[in-house]
A = this chain, B = another copy of it.
Amino acid sequence: MGGGEIETLIRLLSRLPGLGPRSARRMALHLIKKRETQMIPLVEAMEKVLDTVKTCSVCGNLDTVDPCAICSDVRRDDGVICVVRDVSDLWAIERSGAFRGRYHVLGGLLSPMEGTGPDDLHLSALESRVRSSRAEELILALPATVDGQTTGHYIAERLKDLNVRISSLAQGIPVGGELDYLDDGTIQTALRARG
């Protein structure tokens, strides 16, 4: 179909997260039909991102400027650094509007299963940043998974002699959470952490 050009597009689309061959075909056809309103703008947006977006050398965030807008915002609090696994988690916290400090993006989690060790994460950068900055608190905003907890413990242990308080996100019942639909672990944690 399409002398190979359409097939190549479908193959590349099907390698994107969450897409299989069927949804990639659907997406390719959609793009070809909506050439002016979707495909051309999408190509232009991707080229723009390729040209301008880079990783912040301070915190690991993605932005068109380095240091990123968050790192260079003088209104934000230097006293707190929020440690996240990934840029997507940074975005999630920013959307919540509940945090006005700085970030540090680890770029992953320690995972013996996947062979990710301390040197694969931006941990030395975090350590030297904490040493040289005015940060008083490090919030470990990591996933409530085994790898997330392992990573949190590792960071707390590694930085324990530095003059910084280490905290973690509270665990419990999510807002709007119906007990009936929550897993046992969440209910147990929420009971233990009751207050």
A interface list, Cβ under 8 A from B: 1-3, 5-6, 8-9, 12-13, 15-19, 23, 25-32, 35, 38-43, 45-50, 52-53, 61-65, 69, 86-88, 91, 94
Contacts and interface: CB of A to CB of B under 8 A. Distances in A.
Q: How many copies of the polypeptide does the oligomer hold?
A: 2
Contacts of A27: 16-18
A100 B94 CA distance: 56
A1 B1 CA distance: 38
Contact of A26 (B3, B5, B39, B88): B88
A13 B69 CA distance: 23
Contacts of A46: 9, 31, 39, 42-43
A55 to B, nearest CB: 9
A19 B30 CA distance: 12
A62 B18 contact: no
Nearest to A26: B17
A29 B87 contact: yes
Q: Is the interface of A mostly helix, strand, loop or mixed?
A: helix
Contacts of A63: 1-3
B30 A26 contact: no
Contacts of A35: 50
9 contacts: A1-B87, A2-B49, A8-B45, A17-B30, A18-B19, A18-B23, A25-B91, A31-B49, A42-B46
A12 B25 contact: no
Contacts of A9: 42, 45-46, 48-49
A49 to B, nearest CB: 5
Contacts of A29: 62, 86-88
Nearest to A1: B91
Contacts of A86: 29
